[in-house]
Amino acid sequence: MEEIVCVFPSIRMEPQTTRSWDFMGFDEKVSRNATTESDIIVGVMDTGIWPEAEGFKDEGFGPPPKKWKGVCEGGKNFTCNKKIVGARCYLTDSARDFRGHGTHCASIVAGSPVKDVSFYGLANGTARGGVPAARIAAYKVYDLDFGCSSDGILAAFDDAIVDEVDLISISLNEFFRSEPHFYIDPVAFGAFHAMKKGILTSQSAGTIFNSYKVGPVSSVAPWVFTVAASTTDRQIIDSNVLANGKKLVGHSTNTFTLNGTNFPLIYGKDASRTNCSQMLARRPKCGLYMNSTRVPQATILQSEVIKDVAAPLVSITSATGPNLVVPDIIKPDISAPGVEILAAYSTFATASEYPEDNRHVKYNILSGTSVSCPHVAGAAAYVKSFHPDWSPAAIKSSLMTTAWPMNDTLPANDTSSTFSGAINPGLVYETSEDDHIKLLCTVYDEGKVRLITGENITCPKDPAKWSPRDHNYPSMGAKVDPTKPFTVQFHRTVKNVGLANSTYRAKIFSNSKLDIKVVPEVLSFKSLNEQMDFDVTVGGSDLQDRSQVSIKGTNVIQYS
């Protein structure tokens, strides 16, 4: 049929705040453009939404933005309001969230502040979204009974574009694919068309535990904002006390108390629903004890919250790369809080998602790139509230280039060096649709590029003259042979979004033995939105010696 663009097999995809926003330096006193923020609509593609959650009440909200063209088709007993302005469902007849995942993510992006919430006393505080004045449009693309399908995701993207959402947050990834490709990835497909309409898509990088991957990131499209998960300075720990008095401390959210009663120890590999290996189960502290007594026993204490001075660190369950489709485009793009995050939850779902659990909560603690993704979507919405006319690439660039490492010398609550920088980045890297098409032509043949773009494009006759490393991306990456000397070059174009008359000087922050040169070292702008080019040359050898490529700081090169 002429209406068919392409046919590919449906794939299985899986879903992947009381402290997190404050930890990032985004406290409740941060400067806001409230009127514009109220006009922002965030499309959340997930397991649906629980409209009765307190953070989704609409007191104080005006009518939905005039641009909104969506509908409220949430099913029986589902009501939208001035906060949840729209709802759609696919493969099922209800947009209600019976799992809790979608509610959790939506509240991280745009939930209204709710004071004194916790998970059975743990992580107590005020739960709030990054843009609490913004509106939410829920697109239920995952269901407990029917799972998640490619056609549902593509339909949701089509609807979100027509509905005129401003940003999309999707915490879903392919369940397993050894070699991901843009032309069979429904999120890459949908996000490309959203990008053409000025809509930025934030997607979780993938959680290793969920997808059974060793490290490669499943969200690799350069037009998608790919988010890894990292820790905050609030850590939840749990202790096991052996009968001989030794205490073993680990990471677990446990609300129960055994009142000091001891129980027999077993190997983790013998317990149901566990991936614990025999090697891990027989760790020295526990295995030296099991051999010393005929009846080894222990008790479990309730979890407690401690301060983690080493935060933030990328979670061991977060996909961290490489990019298997375009190695020269670094993925993930950015990291955000994604470990032990408290946010709103569906009261239908059980607290642990296991049917045997009879606990039902309004707020729950989840971890993974699923919950780091809406943090970035909220941050992007915040930037857009100050710059409604900025492109998805400009918003993405502003967040990537102003991110800084947080430690004891740079307090997390120092807002002058975090989100205020994102709304005033000075320079941004614009990436157009044509730029993405040029990159696609270096990866695929012309037919596949046409499938992805939906346009009758013609690829350059000699794509070898252009390299993906010249893609006007906010980060710079190159795949090289680690055993041989190398020299790589990057070409970039930056646009002035700061003061009309402004001068930027390149600084190189590096303690490595790599030779890095920037030409020109100084960029002088005379007008707003003026663009200028620069080139970066990086040389080195023997990258097998990791000490030679250690980099101090987040930005190796910065114009300031």
Selecting among 107, 219, 370, 397, the annotated active-site residue is: 370
Claim to verify: residue 245 and residue 223 sit in the same structural domain: no
| Cα angle: 351, vertex 377, 499; to 5 degrees | 155
Claim to verify: residue 446 and residue 531 sit in the same structural domain: yes
46 has catalytic annotation: yes
Mark 79-103 as b/e (b = at least 16 C-beta within 10 Å).
Answer: ebbebbbbbbbbbbebbbbbbbbbb
Claim to verify: residue 549 and residue 462 sit in the same structural domain: yes
293 Cβ contact partners less than 8 Å away, ≥ 6 residues apart = 243, 244
512 has catalytic annotation: no
Q: Is residue 274 a part of any domain in this protein? A: yes
Claim to verify: residue 408 and residue 268 sit in the same structural domain: no
435 has catalytic annotation: no
Cβ–Cβ < 8 Å for 287, 268: no
Claim to verify: residue 459 and residue 530 sit in the same structural domain: yes
Claim to verify: residue 315 and residue 300 sit in the same structural domain: no
Domain count, the chain: 3
Residue 33 sits in a domain whose CATH number is 3.40.50.200
**Rounded CA Rg of the chain:** 24
Residue 445 sits in a domain whose CATH number is 2.60.40.2310
Claim to verify: residue 323 and residue 292 sit in the same structural domain: no
Selecting among 22, 39, 46, 159, the annotated active-site residue is: 46
Distances in Å between the alpha carbon of 363 and those of 87, 114, 168, 458, 494? Answer: 22, 11, 23, 51, 43
- The residue to which tokens 């040389």 are assigned: 539
Q: Is residue 427 a part of any domain in this protein? A: no
Sequential pLDDT tens for the chain (560 residues): 766 666 666 655 554 478 899 888 888 888 899 899 999 999 999 999 999 999 999 999 999 999 999 999 999 999 999 999 999 999 899 999 999 999 999 999 999 999 999 999 999 999 999 999 999 999 999 987 777 888 999 999 999 999 999 999 999 987 545 556 888 889 999 999 999 999 999 999 987 754 444 567 889 999 999 999 999 999 999 999 999 889 989 888 988 888 889 998 876 666 655 555 555 555 555 567 777 788 889 999 999 999 998 889 999 889 888 888 999 999 999 999 999 999 999 999 999 878 889 999 999 999 999 999 999 999 999 999 999 999 999 999 999 998 776 654 544 444 344 577 899 999 999 999 999 999 999 989 999 999 899 889 999 877 667 789 999 999 999 988 888 899 999 999 999 999 999 999 998 876 777 899 999 999 999 999 999 999 999 998 877 665 444 433 334 456 65
Q: How high is the pLDDT of residue 487?
A: 95
461 Cβ contact partners less than 8 Å away, ≥ 6 residues apart = none
Claim to verify: residue 331 and residue 413 sit in the same structural domain: yes
End-of-domain residue from the set 265, 292, 307: 307
| Cα angle: 529, vertex 535, 540; to 5 degrees | 150
Claim to verify: residue 288 and residue 369 sit in the same structural domain: no
Q: Is residue 33 a part of any domain in this protein? A: yes
End-of-domain residue from the set 292, 307, 322: 307
User: What's the predicted TM-score (pTM) here?
Assistant: 0.90
Selecting among 22, 38, 39, 101, the annotated active-site residue is: 101
Claim to verify: residue 27 and residue 145 sit in the same structural domain: yes
> Domain of 442?
433-559
User: Mutual orientation of helices 186-196 and 433-443 as an angle, nearest 10°?
Assistant: 150
